[in-house]
Chain A
Amino acid sequence: QVQLQESGPGLVRPSETLSLTCVVSNGSISSANWWSWVRQPPGKGLEWIGEIYHSGSTKYNPSLKSRVTITVDKSKNELSLKMSSVTAADTAVYYCASGRCNGGYCYKWFQDWGQGTLVTVSS
């Protein structure tokens, strides 16, 4: 079971870019898994942001696609999220999560989750 740990600034100014990283331990980010970001505004539900596969291909939530980029740094064994032009509506706990793939088939449920990191957008 991989372990995931998110990190990044807890406060971001409106209109700036939010940047988070997720370090993968007890496993390799180059392994046949898929990696994702999910967020949760305070007191609200879960919202999928996007995902990246071990092949490097990505998919994003259509409502966020124009502002989001998910990448992988294999040398650091970490996943990253960049979200541009943030507003107060982007205030949330951001989770990285992962799922397994085997033999080219990916099991599309969120198997492992990080503990999450709170990002507040405020001036």
Chain B
Amino acid sequence: SFELTQPPSVSVALGQTARITCERNNIGSKNVHWYQQKPGQAPVLVIYRDNIRPSEIPERFSGSNSGNTATLTISRAQAGDEADYFCQVWDSSAAVFGGGTKVTVL
């Protein structure tokens, strides 16, 4: 089955940069989308098509995708960025999500 591998957790100091990876063989050939989910809330789209940010998402969020790894980068991390983050692709017409990464801002 098609699986996307994310680290379970990432910690980042306030104001520093967090990088969340999403790994799969040749993921660079697919469009990767990223969602932020805060406790008790629905997911929110933060990056689509690898590196495009919806207008309402801060510029601090960026994405990249190449080879076997897609990366969501959060620059100048804020306390409000604490959340779970999920990557997502389509494979054989089915949506597949990564297992999620919990980001903690220290």
A, B assembled together: yes
Interface residues of A (CB under 8 A from B): 36, 38, 45-48, 51, 59, 61-62, 95, 107-111, 113-116
**Residue among B88, B94, B98, B99 with the highest chain A CB neighbour number at 10 A:** B94
30 A-B pairs (CB sep. < 8 Å) = A36-B95, A45-B97, A45-B98, A45-B99, A45-B100, A46-B35, A46-B86, A46-B88, A48-B94, A48-B95, A48-B96, A48-B97, A59-B93, A59-B94, A61-B94, A107-B48, A108-B31, A108-B95, A109-B33, A109-B45, A109-B48, A109-B88, A110-B33, A110-B35, A110-B43, A110-B88, A113-B43, A113-B44, A115-B42, A116-B42
Name B89's closest neighbour in chain A (CB-CB): A108
Separation in Å of the B29 CB from the closest CB of chain A? 15
Beyond A46-B35, A109-B48, A110-B35, 4 additional pairs, beta carbon < 8 A: A95-B43, A108-B31, A109-B49, A110-B45
Contacts of B33 in A (CB 8 A): 109-110
Give the interface SS of chain B, mostly helix, strand, loop or mixed: strand
Separation in Å of the A63 CB from the closest CB of chain B? 9
Separation in Å of the A4 CB from the closest CB of chain B? 9
Separation in Å of the A50 CB from the closest CB of chain B? 9
Contacts of A38 in B (CB 8 A): 95
- Decide: A47 and B88 in contact? CB cutoff 8 A: no
Separation in Å of the B16 CB from the closest CB of chain A? 26
Q: How far is A110 from B100 in the complex, measured between Cα atoms in Å?
A: 16
Separation in Å of the B102 CB from the closest CB of chain A? 11
Name B32's closest neighbour in chain A (CB-CB): A109
Q: How far is A116 from B99 in the complex, measured between Cα atoms in Å?
A: 19
Q: How far is A107 from B45 in the complex, measured between Cα atoms in Å?
A: 13
Contacts of B86 in A (CB 8 A): 45-46
Give per-residue flags for B13-50: 1 if the beta carbon is below 8 A from chain A beta carbons, else 0: 00000000000000000010101000001111100110
Name B35's closest neighbour in chain A (CB-CB): A110
Q: How far is A109 from B45 in the complex, measured between Cα atoms in Å?
A: 8
Contacts of A115 in B (CB 8 A): 41-42
